Structure formats: C-alpha cells, structure tokens
Amino acid sequence: MLAHQHITPGLGSELASDIQLTSLSDGQISALQQLASERGIVVARDQVMSLQEQADFAHRLGEPLTRPTNPSEIPQELIRIMADENSKHAAGEGWHSDVSSESEPPGLSMLRMEVVPRAGGDTLFANMYAAYESLSPAMQAFVETLSAKHDPIGHYLYVSGAKKLEEVPSAIHPVVRIHPDTGRKALYVNVGFVSRIIGLNRRESHALLQLLYDHVAYSANIQCRVNWQPGTVVFWDNRCVQHFAAFDYFPEKRLGYRATIRGEKPISCAEI
C-alpha cells in the first residue's frame, strides 16, 4: 500500500511527500500500477531521478515504447517534452490518449518535469470511466457495439519526423474498452488519433465523435488539473484517462521527459 490523498473524489491521487519512486519495492510498484488503474492519475512530488534512472524505472513498469532517434544523452525509453520561446505549439495540446494508434496502445505514461514556467503549464486530465458512465443508458448501449479507426497522426515517431505517416501503422479499437485490472468500462475515442467510426457514414461518424469529444471536453466534473513543479512525476493510465497539456506559458520554458509503457490489445464489451 502507498500512502496517498485524493486530488478529486473521482480522479487522481497524490503520493505522500516522503515517497521516493526509485526506492519502491516490487510490491510497491504493483501497488502504484493498481492505484493508477483505479484512480487514473498518480502524482509524486520532489523526486530525485536522472534520465537513466527514469529509463530504468520505466522497465520496472513494463515494456517501454522506444525512440531510436534520440541523441546519445537521452535513453531511447524517454521522449523529451519541451516548449520555449521558439515554439508555436506544445506537445500534448488537445484532449488525447497517448499513441492510441498502436495495436497494443499504452497502459501507463510517466512524465517527469525538470523545468517549469513561473505560472501555467498545467496538465488537465479527464476520467474516461466517468465519461462512459455519465452517458445515457441508450447511448452507452449503442457505443458499446462500435469500433473506431485510430490513425498515427499524433504518433511521436511521425510528429518527430523519424518515420513517414504511411510507415506507422493504424489500429481499430472498441469505442468502449474494458480495463483489464478493474473490469470497468471506459470510453476510448480521442480527437488526437481517431479518424472515424467503423460502419457509420462520414456524417454520422463525425457527428457521434464530436458529441463524445464535447462530452469529454465540457464535463468539468470528470476532470482534474495537475500543477507541475521541478521534480514532479505524474503517472496516468491511458486506458481510462485522457489528458490535455495547456500551452499558456509562452514564451517561458517547460521541459520534461516521458516514458510510455506498452499496454495490451483493448478488450471490447463483446468479449466479456
């Protein structure tokens, strides 16, 4: 068990201030993963961790996705997240679930921040368990039968120029997925990757996706906001959470490193 307190009643937990991630036992790592699957987000403050220590920690969580084009000083398990006075955009703008176009999309993501602006730069999170549960019963029953095509338009390998769009595969996933650790249903479409609903015509698909995206974006009661400080580490479970990085701090600098852990093929409602 890891001592923690809730960020909101339904979403997010912050670990006790005396917990150092690099000192966790295997049992505590399992507890961290379970807490993330139940609460969606886990925040750890005042962490002392090098790039290599973060990469090593990522392997304790599972199989990290890699970025072979990293410079030698950045381990392949990490992605640098940076915006400064030369940036027109910041990584993570717009509601999304990390690289959901993978056939086995991520479970946990782990972002450690080193440099933060004097104000702003928060990350917003939305609870996809609650997004599904707050739909009407009729809409729940309908979307449970559907699948969506996830294209790699926001994939880090494409966005970074490491690969062409056609070199990064797409995937088809259920619109509602079952979390393997909690058994709960979560809405699983996001504006960052989903191109269409399978089996609906273009107008129907666009209208339904826009309805679901608006449902996530405007339902403040299923969201929370995390303020970053140097040394803050945040874990989020992409199977049940979406996030949005606010780029409201231009021209100041924000710098961090993310590890992304491969998950499993999403489980549809038809499989239970």
Which residues carry out catalysis?
Answer: 96, 98, 243, 258
Sign of the alpha-carbon dihedral angle for 64, 68, 69, 73? positive
Indicate the residue type of 106.
Answer: P
Judged on CB neighbours under 10 Å (0-12, 13-18, 19+), 44 is buried
Q: CA dist 104 to 23, 58, 164, Å?
A: 29, 17, 20
List Cβ neighbours of 242 (8 Å cut-off, separation of 6 or more). Answer: 95, 96, 97, 125, 126, 128, 190, 216
| CB-side neighbour CA atoms (13 Å) of 234 | 25
List Cβ neighbours of 144 (8 Å cut-off, separation of 6 or more). Answer: 174, 175, 176, 185, 269
